[in-house]
Amino acid sequence: MPVYVKDIMVTPVLTITEERTVQEAAKLMGRKRKGCIIVTRRGKPIGILSDSDIIKRIVAKDIKPSKVKVKEVMSSPLITISPEDDILTAARKMKRANIHRLPVVSRGKLVGIISLSDIAKTSPELLDLLEERLRMREEEPRIREETTVGICESCGNYSDTLRYVNGQWLCETCVEEFE
């Protein structure tokens, strides 16, 4: 059963208008203990300002945050996701864009935000399974008489009873299909 963005998104979302200063944004982010703030124009989301944006674009360049408007340093265009999408789609979108947060938008309206941390908190057991599967793929199959334990080289599923057939380790289902 898939987990949807709407099931784990965080609401309400911290927002600030594009004409406010970076200093105001940073103070608000600090007060609310948030790592980012969504920048809006006439109530519509147009960009995002993260703590790393502030560090790279303001602090590292020794620019006074009270003199810079958020619209000048925000990340834009805004990459968003629908609340109806599943979290796998969200994770893939974040990976492709090399970002850690996605504003959730429905019919042009900001309804939430989702982060990689939210996804990880929702399904830590999934992360454990993925790590185990990757580890198993790196290991050579252990031979026990005619069968072994590991990942089927045809379907990619784990099996306690892999058989070596024509140079591949196959699970019972794939062996039956092969024969």
The predicted structure's pLDDT at residue 144: 46
Structure-derived torsion over alpha carbons of residues 143, 146, 151, 157, reported in degrees to the nearest 10? -160
Supply the mean pLDDT for the chain: 88
Smallest CA-to-CA distance from 79 within 95, 67, 61 is with 95
The pLDDT value recorded for residue 56 is 94
Note the pLDDT tens digit of each residue in 21-34: 999 999 999 999 99
Asked if residue 84 lies in contact with residue 4, where contact means CB atoms within 8 angstroms, the answer is yes
Question: In angstroms, how far is the first alpha carbon of the chain from the final one?
Answer: 33
Question: Who's near 170: CB < 8 A, 6+ residues apart?
Answer: 152, 153, 154, 162, 163, 164, 178
Tens digit of each residue's pLDDT (9 = 90 or more) over 37-88: 999 999 899 999 999 999 999 999 999 999 999 999 999 999 999 999 998 8
pLDDT confidence tier of residue 143, bands split at 50, 70 and 90: very low
Instruction: Give the model's pLDDT for residue 1.
Output: 66
pLDDT tens-digit map of 81-138? 999 999 889 988 998 999 999 999 999 899 999 998 888 887 666 656 656 665 666 6
- This prediction's pTM: 0.68
Distances (CA, A) of 47 to 13, 16, 23, 107: 13, 10, 17, 17
pLDDT of residue 3: 83
Which residues are CB-contacts of 97 (< 8 A; sequence separation ≥ 6)? 79
